[in-house]
Amino acid sequence: MAKKIPSVADAAGKGFLTHIAYDSVVFGFSGDTLKILLMEYHNTGLFALPGGFVRMHENLDDAVRRGLKERTGLDNIYLEQFHAFGSTARYQPQVMKKILIANGHKPNNQHWLLDRFVSIAYYALINYKEVVPSPDALSDSCTWYNIDTLPTLILDHADIVKKALDTLRTNIDRKLVGMNLLPKKFTMKELQQVYEAILGEAIRRTSFQRTMLASGILKRHQKQFLGMAHKAPYVYSFKSKKLPPGKK
C-alpha cells in the first residue's frame, strides 16, 4: 500500500514539523538579466518566494530540494542556506488565511498554518534555460521576474531577497556563481555578464579577463565561430570547483 503524502491543508499539520518553514530565492541568468522565481497565489494577487514545509521524517535540505524540483523539474540544484528569519513582524496569519480561503479551504483560528513560523532561507543557482517553472497546488503561476522589477511580496520576502542578493555578492568569487548560472561552455563575455548582473555594476573587460585567466579555474576550448574568424571568441569551461588563488 502506497504511503500517504501529508497535505499542508490538514488543519492540525499532521505529518509536518510545526513552526518551521523554508523559503528559496532561486536565481537564474537570462543572458543579460539576473532573475528570480516567484509564485502568485491563486485568486489573491499575492506574490511570494517558492517555499514550503518540512515533513516529520524529512531532512531540511531534502525538503528544500523536493520543493524546488516540484517548481523547476531539476535535480542536483546548487543550494546555500544563508539565514533564518524569525522576526515577530513576519507573523501575519491573515495572509495565510486569505490564501487558504482563496483555494477553497475554511480554516479556523487554530489551523496550524495560521501559527507563527520561523523560515530557514536558501538561495539556489540554476541554469535559466533548463527550467520550465511549475506552480504548486495553491498557486496560479510560477514565473521568472527581473531582480530590479519585482512585484510587492508577502510578509518579509523582500527582505529575504535582499539578504540573498547581498550574500551572493559577498560570495561571488568563492562560490564560483557562473558555474551554476551558465551552460557548461561559455564565452568570457557571458561570464562577465553574470558577474555584472549580480553586482549591479559594469566591470572593466580587460581587468576581468586578466583576473579570471589568472585564477586557474577556467579551461579554454576552441573558438566560437559566429561569422568573421578574427572576431571569434574563445569558449571556456570551469575546471573544477576549486577556489581561485588566495580565496578561502
* 39: its cell numbers: 509564485
Domain boundary among 128, 147, 170: 170
* Domain of 215, in residue numbers: 183-238
pLDDT score of 112 more than 90: yes
pLDDT score of 202 more than 70: yes
Q: How far apart are CA 230 and CA 232, in angstroms?
A: 6
Using 50, 70 and 90 to split pLDDT, how confident is the model at 128?
confident
Q: How high is the pLDDT of residue 114?
A: 95
Q: What CATH number does residue 58 fall under?
A: 3.90.79.10
Q: How far apart are CA 190 and CA 177, in angstroms?
A: 12
Give me the mean pLDDT over the 153-175 stretch: 89
Counting residues of the chain whose pLDDT is more than 70, the rounded percentage is 88
Q: What CATH number does residue 199 fall under?
A: 1.10.10.10
Give me the mean pLDDT over the 48-53 stretch: 95
pLDDT score of 243 more than 80: no
Geometric angle at alpha carbon 113, from 112 and 117, rounded to 5°: 100
Helices (H), the chain: 60-72, 93-102, 157-170, 178-181, 188-199, 205-215
Closest CA to 182 of 114, 129, 122, 112: 129
Q: How high is the pLDDT of residue 51?
A: 94
Lowest mean pLDDT among 32-41, 91-100, 182-191: 182-191
The answer as to whether 145 is a domain residue is yes
The answer as to whether 248 is a domain residue is no
Question: pTM for the complete prediction?
Answer: 0.82
The answer as to whether 228 is a domain residue is yes
Domain check: are 160 and 77 in the same one? Answer: yes
Give me the mean pLDDT over the 105-127 stretch: 92
Helices (H) and strands (E) in the chain, counts: 6, 10
Mean pLDDT, all residues of the chain:
85
Q: How high is the pLDDT of residue 37?
A: 94
pLDDT score of 224 more than 60: yes
Q: How far apart are CA 224 and CA 78, in angstroms?
A: 28
Q: 231 exposed, middle or buried (CB, 10 Å; 0-12, 13-18, 19+)? A: exposed
pLDDT tens digits for 53-86?
Answer: 999 999 999 999 999 999 988 887 888 999 999 9
Report the 10 Å Cβ neighbour count for 222. 9
